[in-house]
Structure 1
């Protein structure tokens, strides 16, 4: 039978944090040393090689996968954050096989699609399998997530996935990804699941659509929105919100757009993937957190801070309805939303604990979230929630 255990620590020493966290895991599962995979989300201030080495000593042979999280994690014990924090969840199931693999991007010229293909093959090899998994987890650096997914799909087809992008505490590029093999800043890591329990994923921005809609008439590269309806994108966005364009330049746009980002609909209209405006550029363009395509529509979305808080409990409630006899929840919550929520993060922790109703859960805060809705394609977005549940 599938079983999950969860632990956390706020110890400033990564080795001590691992010892404390693993100690909590052992109190919930005597067989945690035989776990098939361990998810770990940690502070970017940690000495991550030391953390991984301690995991190897405490749980030899258990593959670790994870990334640094924005400011903290949430478990049933509440929000754990600060300069030092670690949250971990172990999955234990004799019938399950998990293939964990990573491909660091060591050169800017490396093709992300090819790295996605490579990491997929490595994960199958790690699981000693030659077929597609039931589903997979992915963590990546916040830059080329869509292309890693494309490469993985080339190898295994369209398989449901979930996960998020590594984050730091100040958007300064201090984020890291890691597996048991080591930590790295740029690239992709995956966990392929075989013989695993039923999984369900609820993927949403939980924003409301407004009547402000425009056509993307010019882009620069993959993630710069230059014009909407032939007008500089920043000017159009400022006009929609009745704001002074100069007050949205540079990093000012990042925080001010949390309650009113942009959205793009999937081909069926079932999902609005959020595109977080990251910076207002001097040429009137907007840098986004994910890919944008010319000749598609963008919608201005809205949500109050109250709604950002309450949406967490509502989304977990939706997930509960999708998972029969739940054994674990792995919750990916956008770091930008967490920043907008601010000191009210304790309310989020209370809502999640209430909705989890005793089921172990672990929440990380990311700079990109991954999931899908119904028969839509695997999608990457920002300012979103990707909540995943596993049955017993």
Structure 2
């Protein structure tokens, strides 16, 4: 089994892709599965059509990434593209599926249909996969994850990232070898001929401040403890903020997300985060994750140094039980776009620390508007400002 990664920052989509493909052609056979991430400036149709033509028998999966991509070859900003090719000549099998979302779709039913299709596509019907990779467009990630868990009856390790663009303007897409969509769900199932380890963390600390979400609608929270959310959040963060649809909070409040308890480890809680996006015209605060009425929300806080060192700590957590005999093949890292934008000037240092933690093994990392993964306690979840990692190893 072998993994190869490559990336390019050429602003010509064709030339960028050709450079990446030239680095994959050192391997004489087609990849079993190929992951691809690129920023919104690139020609998505050209990229997918070229990949399908070059690798007609390969499963292809990916999404757009916010303002850059990262691999073991480095962090690249806009006009960037990255490929990650997995070759599994033993008994590994892989399958993908994709479907468009519209207002008439029942998310649970559609997700289960996609799982059935992906498993059939892998040729391993009747077997549980070692890993599910999810890429969706923003909005229904929690419901999708619940459907995935229900389908298998037991939580299968999950990793995923929500498609992103540069400025939250809907210029995102997801794709497989079968389709490219601006609104939808895409899945891959992995049956690799190696071990898989995972980790999913927020890396933020919980303050002593919390309240109950007393009025919400989908991903908009209106009241905390029966008080206007805008007043409460401004009081909690002590940040000067205005109102209105055009108030984009994405980069301004990266250090102050809202947290909900996802589980406990030795009586200590761990959290999934919700990242505020904007204040709405009707007095709400929209987030990239759902907060339900009655949930306790905590004021979380982070320091830049914690965010910078977090990816390395997440990887170390994933390999902890294999530390003595860990032999890495490669990995997938999902990193929050908001966190990346906040520490952009330090991303070269982040890349260096991830390379060290990965023992030099190849990996790929998009920057997403939501992260999905499996916590240490076994729960699959969707959150914001998170880091999710999967390692393939012997």
User: TM-score if structure 1 supplies the norm length?
Assistant: 0.93
Residue deviations 1:319-341, cap 9 Å, x none? Answer: 33245311112110000111111
1:262 and 2:264 correspond: no
Contact 1:367 1:382 in 2 (8 A): yes
Q: Distance in 2 between matches of 1:8 and 1:124?
A: 29
Contact 2:258 2:275 in 1 (8 A): yes
Contact 1:320 1:326 in 2 (8 A): no
Partner of residue 151, structure 2: 155
Deviates more, 1:178-187 or 1:130-139: 130-139
Matches within 5 A, 1:74-223: 74-82=70-78, 84-93=79-88, 94-105=90-101, 107-131=102-126, 132-157=128-153, 158-220=155-217, 222-223=218-219
Deviation at 1:369, TM superposition (A): 0.3
Deviation at 1:236, TM superposition (A): 0.9
Partner of residue 275, structure 1: 274
1:254 counterpart SS class:
coil
Partner of residue 16, structure 1: 15
Partner of residue 296, structure 1: 295
Deviation at 1:58, TM superposition (A): 2.3
Unaligned runs of at least 5 residues, structure 1: none
Q: Structure 1 residues 16 and 57, CA, compared in 2 at 3 Å: closer, same or farther?
A: farther
Deviation at 1:63, TM superposition (A): 1.2
Deviation at 1:257, TM superposition (A): 1.5
Q: Distance in 2 between matches of 1:241 and 1:52?
A: 43
Residue deviations 1:94-117, cap 9 Å, x none? Answer: 210001111122x32222222211
Contact 1:160 1:372 in 2 (8 A): yes
Contact 2:243 2:280 in 1 (8 A): no
Residue deviations 1:210-237, cap 9 Å, x none? Answer: 11111111112x2111111111111111
Q: Distance in 2 between matches of 1:248 and 1:213?
A: 25
Contact 2:328 2:359 in 1 (8 A): no
**Which residue, 370, 379, 382 being the options, matches 1:380?**
382
Deviation at 1:247, TM superposition (A): 7.0
Unaligned runs of at least 5 residues, structure 2: none
Number of residues of Structure 1 aligned to a counterpart in Structure 2: 385
Q: Distance in 1 between matches of 2:17 and 2:285?
A: 41
User: TM-score if structure 2 supplies the norm length?
Assistant: 0.92
1:225 counterpart SS class:
strand
Q: Distance in 2 between matches of 1:95 and 1:270?
A: 39
